[in-house]
Structure formats: C-alpha cells, structure tokens
Amino acid sequence: MQTDNYYRQARFLTSAAKLSQCPADEGYEVAFAGRSNAGKSSAINTLCDHRGLAKTSKTPGRTQLINFFELDHERRLVDLPGYGYAKVSVSIKKDWQGSLAQYLEKRQCLKGLILMMDVRHPLKDFDVQMLEWAGHIQLPVHVLLTKADKLKKGPATASCHRVEAALKSMQGDFSVQLFSSLKRSGVGEVHLTLNQWLDRTSS
C-alpha cells in the first residue's frame, strides 16, 4: 500500500509547551488525542511503522507536551497531551488543558482529530467532552477503538456499534473504527482518513 511508505518517513520535528512554541501555522496537521492509557503513542508508531517515533511509557500521563512529527514540508502528525489521568497534579492538569484548548481552537492548519478510546471502556466523560468540543468548533473526528485485540470479534464489534450509535446522536462530523497496534489491524482504514484530511486523496 503506497500510504505505508509515505507514513514511514515521519520524523520528530519539535515539542511545544504552549501555542506560541508550535511550528508555523501553515500546511496540514492531524492531531491525536485520548486518555493517557488509550494507547495513543503506540497507535502513532504503528501507523508510521516506526516503533520509537512517539515515546511510549508504562506510566500514563508522560506526554506533557504537544509533539510534532513531520511527514513532508507541509504535513504533520501531532501527539497531544493525554488527559484524564488522576495521579497528575491539578496545576499540571490545568496547564495541559490550557495548551490543549488553545491548540484545538486556534490552530488554523488543524484538519482533523484522531480520538483514541480503549474499546473496553469507550466514551468516558473526557472523551464525550472532547467530542462535544470538536463538534462545537466544527473539527472532524475519527475515533479509534484501540486495543481491539483484548476482546473477541463479537464483543469488539458490538462496542464499535454502540459508539457509532452514540456518535450519530451527537452534533459533529464523527466516524469510528476498531484498531489494534499489537495486531496492526485497522491501519489501512486510518491511512485513508489521514490522506483525506492531509489532502493526499489524489496522491
């Protein structure tokens, strides 16, 4: 698949603690968000076929910065700080949420959001807030139900259908799929969404 080779060329560009430290607001970006234990960094590494691209950790909440990965001179993937981790201090949470809010609301080159949820525990309060927020600012969201390998096919599919029904009841441009970094399942489907948002549909 051609997209595999394209995403393999992803490289770390820079990290930002606040909006003013982000790269120039031009070109195309797709951001990845989710709870701190949803497998966000693992998903980015799998999609780019690059094990060490986004730093993974057994301790949720380690991603405290906005991390940018360059695909080419005008396209980037962005790893946002994880949210909803109870052991992080209140002051740090406020800092994260502030930088996250500013990035999502003000970044003009942001074309879509990949929102990760554990297939076994989808639509937690923070996830719903993120969806409502994205709907309000008219940002399209593609939900990845991660760790699909943790469930048998029937329960995993049922979870996906429940989330799909919930998304249809909400206001916004939302879609959903199953995904497993371990089994590398669902990668092609995500690439198609990324290609569309990054304006690669004719490539």
Instruction: Give pLDDT tens digits for 45-96.
Output: 999 999 889 876 555 545 578 999 999 999 999 999 887 654 556 665 666 6
Percentage of the chain exceeding pLDDT 70: 86
The two beta strands, 11-16 and 66-72, are antiparallel
**Given pLDDT bands bounded at 50, 70 and 90, which one contains residue 201?**
confident
pLDDT at 146: 98
3-state helix, strand, coil split of the chain in percent (to 5) is 40, 25, 40
CA atoms of 172 and 138, how far apart (whole Å): 7
CA atoms of 120 and 150, how far apart (whole Å): 8
Mean pLDDT of the chain: 89
pTM, to two decimals: 0.90
Q: Which CATH entry fits the domain spanning 2-197: 3.90.780.10, 3.30.1390.20, 3.40.50.300, 3.40.50.620? A: 3.40.50.300
Checking if the pLDDT of 31 tops 50, the result is: yes
pLDDT at 94: 66
Instruction: Give pLDDT tens digits for 141-156.
Output: 999 999 999 999 999 9
From the number of C-beta atoms within 10 Å of its C-beta (0-12, 13-18, 19+), residue 51 rates as exposed
Other CB atoms within 10 Å distance of the CB of residue 15 = 14
